[in-house]
Amino acid sequence: MDKLKKIDFDILPKWWSIVVWILIGLFVLLQPLNGQIVKVLPEIVPYRLVPSGDNFCHMEIEIVEPQSFTHMLEIQKEETLDILKERAAHEMIQPHEQGTVFSIDNKDYLMFRLPFDVTYSEWYGRDTKYGEYRWK
């Protein structure tokens, strides 16, 4: 009967083992969840080269306004457009700089060049005197 009442203390965990598990638990619980951090992506700014009426510079840079322009002041919008046009010219001169992220007023931007649309041209929709001729 003495054997049944006797508790075997060798089976129970040591006090330092309990402390280690408590420290591991605190370490895991106090770590921030990095998956919950929202990362701000750069805003993509499309641009294209369009023909201009200027005899000295035959192409003009046309910027498609980004979404962030809706909440900007007019003077800030004009200055940002000037900087974006300078950046577009820089990317044409330095092709290895294309696709790199840059910032204006702590807002990240990424320039993306669109192809020139033929329907924009003044040459689109012109007819010849044989325009009605069709192969049969």
Summarised one tens digit per residue, pLDDT across range 67-89 is 878 888 889 889 999 999 999 99
Q: Which of 36-45, 94-103, 112-121 has the highest mean pLDDT?
A: 94-103
Residues 48 and 78 in one domain: yes
Residues 15 and 55 in one domain: no
Q: Is the pLDDT of residue 8 over 70?
A: no
Q: Is the pLDDT of residue 134 over 70?
A: no
The count of structural domains within the chain is 2
Residues 6 and 69 in one domain: no
List the beta strands (DSSP E) in the chain.
Answer: 43-51, 59-63, 102-104, 107-113
Q: Please tell me the predicted confidence (pLDDT) of residue 88.
A: 92
Q: Is residue 6 part of a domain?
A: yes
Residues 27 and 59 in one domain: no
Residues 21 and 61 in one domain: no
Residues 26 and 51 in one domain: no
89 vs 5, which has greater pLDDT?
89
31: containing domain: 2-35
Backbone angles phi, psi at 103, to 5 degrees: -130, 145
Residues 11 and 51 in one domain: no
When pLDDT is averaged across residues 36-52 and rounded to a whole number, the result is 81
12's enclosing H/E stretch is none
Helix, strand and coil content of the chain, in percent to the nearest 5, comes to: 40, 20, 45
Structure tokens that stand for 104 in this block: 């204006």
Share of the chain above pLDDT 90, in %: 10
Distances (CA, A) of 114 to 25, 31, 62: 53, 44, 10
Q: Is residue 17 part of a domain?
A: yes
